[in-house]
Chain A
Amino acid sequence: EAGVTQSPTHLIKTRGQQVTLRCSPISGHTSVYWYQQALGLGLQFLLWYDEGEERNRGNFPPRFSGRQFPNYSSELNVNALELEDSALYLCASTLGLAGSTDTQYFGPGTRLTVL
């Protein structure tokens, strides 16, 4: 069974540009989470989508946004890129609102570098 997939694996952008990252969850999973891991920091929760709706949002500015499609895949969009947006962006999926103890399964991440 395929795990969580993310694309692209690496990305280089310049300040002010916009970027879209993509995530496909494990088949049968309806919830998708996005995290940012910047250098020297732990995993920072960004966004949670379930059944196409945004369920929760971390402490990030509005230029971080996303959406979830009917097939449960998801996009993370970052507008007006800043140097400090350089990080590994991780996507995780779970079965969904089956309960508060769903285990999250992570993708390999997208390494974004902002120059």
Chain B
Amino acid sequence: DQQVKQNSPSLSVQEGRISILNCDYTNSMFDYFLWYKKYPAEGPTFLISISSIKDKNEDGRFTVFLNKSAKHLSLHIVPSQPGDSAVYFCAAIKYSGAGSYQLTFGKGTKLSVIP
């Protein structure tokens, strides 16, 4: 059972427009959420995160919104640039106690920014 879902495998956006990547989760016990970006043949790189006690976090062109009641988060990229073309992974952390926690990833959404 997938606890973190990215239902759109791909997304195409015109350069300069807003990119919105969505992520849904099923476990209300997640403590923290992260977005990673991955280029082909490279490991994922951390992009932005948000604590479960917040509803918005902004870093430059990237903003993550969290709607806990809907168990939904989204990543907004404004304005989108061709260099943003990559696969974006949503991830969630659940602290299990006794120094143990799990990090669960979605399957990713491939963003293509068209010049």
The residues of A with any CB-CB pair to B shorter than 8 Å are 4, 6, 33, 35, 41-45, 50, 55-56, 90-92, 97, 100-101, 103-109
Establish whether residues B31 and A100, one from each chain, have CB atoms under 8 Å apart when the complex forms.
Answer: yes
Minimum C-beta distance from A102 to chain B (A): 9
Among B34, B42, B93, B101, which residue has its beta carbon within 8 angstroms of that of A108?
Answer: B42
Establish whether residues B46 and A4, one from each chain, have CB atoms under 8 Å apart when the complex forms.
Answer: no
Among A56, A91, A101, which residue has its beta carbon within 8 angstroms of that of B102?
Answer: A56
Among A45, A90, A104, A107, which residue has its beta carbon within 8 angstroms of that of B104?
Answer: A45
How far apart are the CA atoms of A82 and B29 in the complex, in Å?
35
Name which residue of chain B comes closest to A100, CB basis.
B95
How far apart are the CA atoms of A43 and B102 in the complex, in Å?
13
Establish whether residues B43 and A103, one from each chain, have CB atoms under 8 Å apart when the complex forms.
Answer: no
Minimum C-beta distance from B67 to chain A (A): 20
Among A4, A45, A55, A91, which residue has its beta carbon within 8 angstroms of that of B99?
Answer: A55
